[in-house]
Amino acid sequence: MNKITIMLGDITQVSADAIVNAANTSLLGGEGVDGAIHRVAGPQLLDECRTLNGCRTGEAKITSGYRLPAKYVIHTPGPIWQGGTHHERELLKSSYVNSLKLAETHDCRTVAFPSISTGVYHFPLELAAPTAIQAIQDFLRTSKIVSHVQMVCFDERTKHAYDQALSTVNER
C-alpha cells in the first residue's frame, strides 16, 4: 500500500532510499536544510553538485548520499514566495512531482521530504502543506515503485500544518 507519514525530526538522520534537499538554483549549498545535508554528507556531495550545472526552480537533480544514511539526495530548488502571483504554487507542486519522478527512475521505494520553500524562501506554510500533500498523494496513487513518502518536519508548527493537510486530503 502506498502511504504518506508525517514525522518530527532531522532529515539528515533518515534512512530512506532518497531524501530531498530544499536547494537553490546553484545547487552549491546554503543555509537551512541544505546546509545540514551538506554538513552531514561531507565534501564529496558538493564536488558532485558542482558537476550538475545548477537546476531550475521546480526541477530536480539527483546525487549520491555519501555519508548520509540515505542512498541518494534529490536536490530541488523550490519557489521563492513573491506574494503568490509568480506561479509559486505550481512551482512548488513541480518540485514535489519532479523529485518523486526522479526517485522512481532510480528505483527508490522510500522518499523523505523536508517542508520545501517554507523557511528561507517564505512560502506560507498553510498554503505549502496542502499543495505538497496533494501532489504527493496524486503521485503515489499511480506509482508502482515509490511506496512510502515521509514528510520530515523540523518543528511542531510545521508538523501540525502537514498533519492537518493530510487529514483533509484523506477525508475527501
| Residues near ligand AR6 (CB under 6 A) | 10-12, 22-24, 30-34, 36, 78, 114-121, 152, 154-155, 158
Kindly tell me which of 34 and 48 has the beta carbon lying closer to ligand AR6.
Answer: 34
Kindly tell me which of 143 and 158 has the beta carbon lying closer to ligand AR6.
Answer: 158
Q: In what order do the strands lie in the sheet with 110-113?
A: 3-8, 148-153, 110-113, 18-23, 72-77, 61-64
- Residue 23, beta-bridge partner list: 77
Alpha helices by DSSP H, 42-87: 43-50
Single out the catalytic residue among 10, 34, 47, 163: 34
Contacts of 138 (CB under 8 A, 6+ apart): none
Kindly tell me which of 73 and 152 has the beta carbon lying closer to ligand AR6.
Answer: 152
34 annotated active-site: yes
Q: How far is the CB of 6 from ligand AR6 (least distance, A)?
A: 12
Catalytic residues: 34
